[in-house]
Amino acid sequence: MWCERERTGQVMDDRDRHQAAPPLPPTSFYVLLSLAAEERHGYSIMQEVATLTSGAMRLWPGALYHTIQSLLADGLIAAVPETAGNERWRYYRLTERGRLAAAGETQRLTSLVNLARGRQVLPPQEDS
Amino acid sequence: MDSPLPPLVAVSCAIYRILLLAYPRNFRREFGGEMAQVFCACCQDAYWRRGIVGLGEVCACTLLDTVGNVARQYALRERVQLLALPPSPAYGLPSLGEANACPFCGEEIEPGRLRCVYCAADLRLCPPQRRRPLSSSRLRTSAGYGAVQLATDARRFYGRVYGEPGRRD
């Protein structure tokens, strides 16, 4: 699809790119979700991920900073410049690109759930 | 947070700081301090909540996490270095007249070699900017591998590809 559109001269915007991008690893997705509401430092991200998954996923320092490193390299999160009050911890924030990536991943998972419902793997959703 | 750490937590943090030395230097420089902070915070939290059992659990999980992620970081570093290599006629392709010097010992490298025969350095892991062509003066004065050797190699190479030059005429 990418090649076809590039050949025909259609320009892909960021939203298209993230919809066509490969799935995010679960750890990266949870880190993006934890940063969606506010800027956080490493320990706070770790705690938030544990809360979001009800303790099912614990990110220990090695895995956490490996994920942060790859997200920084992809430009999905950014380090917040140090402020006078927060000298002890480095804070991270979600970039616009990261927000689009998280939205793309959420959409992908939603369509997967809908597919599972269509195949009756999951019970149909009740209208509230 | 400013209160002194319990001795067990302080010892665990000190051991973790030593463990961090296993990570590649760049990664350690970038994230080492933060990782130590996060680990200390985890240890303190676990110790106050569940005592020694909680602290032991955190230490065991972190040890496993460290072993796995150190290996992952080294694998990543190697992959990045290999991908960063520019196409060079001296590595992988035989080319004549483009003799290269080993960036570590300065000795001549035969085209196509991935390891220096003199110092056994892995040439694929050499940063591109450190590679340099063998200078003409070094080529002239090199005792082991001089112009005569190059000419011999040239004859051998072209002989392999096109047949012996003497016999072709």
- In which residue are the tokens 């895995």 written? A63
User: What is the CA A92 to chain-centroid distance, rounded?
Assistant: 13
Q: Which residues in chain A are closer than 8 Å to B34, comparing Cβ atoms? A: 41-42, 65, 89-90
Interface residue A82 vs chain B (CB under 8 A): no
Interface residue B31 vs chain A (CB under 8 A): yes
What's the whole-number mean pLDDT along residues A61-89? 85
Q: Which two tokens stand for residue A22?
A: 């490969």
Residue B73's contacts (CB-CB under 8 Å, 6 or more residues apart) are A66, B23, B24, B27
Nearest Cα of chain A lies from the Cα of B29 at a distance, in angstroms, of 12
CB contact under 8 A, B34 and A46: no
Alpha carbons A21 and B4: distance in angstroms, whole number: 48
0.85 surpassed by complex ipTM: no
Give the residue, B5 or A92, on which the prediction is more confident. A92
> Closest residue of A to B17, CA-based?
A61
Q: Which residues in chain A are closer than 8 Å to B68, comparing Cβ atoms? A: 62-63
Residue B65 to residues A20, B8, B70, Cα–Cα distance (Å): 32, 20, 8
- Identity of residue A116: A
Classify each residue of A3-27 as buried b or exposed e, where b means 16 or more C-beta atoms within 10 Å of its C-beta.
eeeeeeeeeeeeebebeeeeebeeb
> Closest residue of B to A59, CA-based?
B65
Q: Which two tokens stand for residue B74?
A: 């080294």
CB contact under 8 A, B38 and A88: no
- Identity of residue A117: R
pLDDT given at position A16 = 57
pLDDT given at position A18 = 54
Q: Which two tokens stand for residue B47?
A: 């110790």
Comparing CB atoms, the residue among B30, B38, B73 nearest residue A61 is B38
Interface residue A69 vs chain B (CB under 8 A): yes
| CA nearest neighbour of B107 among B132, B80, B82, B77 | B132
Residue A63 to residues B11, B44, B114, Cα–Cα distance (Å): 22, 20, 33
What's the whole-number mean pLDDT along residues A36-61? 93
Q: Which residues in chain B are closer than 8 Å to A65, comparing Cβ atoms? A: 27, 31, 34-35
Nearest Cα of chain A lies from the Cα of B84 at a distance, in angstroms, of 16
pLDDT given at position B150 = 52
Interface residue A45 vs chain B (CB under 8 A): no
CB contact under 8 A, B35 and A90: no
Confirm if B99 and B150 have CB atoms less than 8 A apart.
Answer: yes
| A9-18, A47-56, B135-144 — most confident range | A47-56
User: What is the CA B67 to chain-centroid distance, rounded?
Assistant: 18
Residue A40 to residues A22, A89, A92, B108, Cα–Cα distance (Å): 26, 9, 6, 53
Computed over every residue of chain B, the mean pLDDT equals 71
Nearest Cα of chain B lies from the Cα of A71 at a distance, in angstroms, of 14
Give every residue of chain B whose pLDDT is below 50, as ranges.
1, 87-98, 128-131, 134, 136-147, 164-169
Classify each residue of B100-138 as buried b or exposed e, where b means 16 or more C-beta atoms within 10 Å of its C-beta.
bbbbeeebbbebeeeebeeeebebeebeeeebeebeeeb
- In which residue are the tokens 């956490």 written? A64
pLDDT given at position A10 = 47
pLDDT given at position A22 = 77
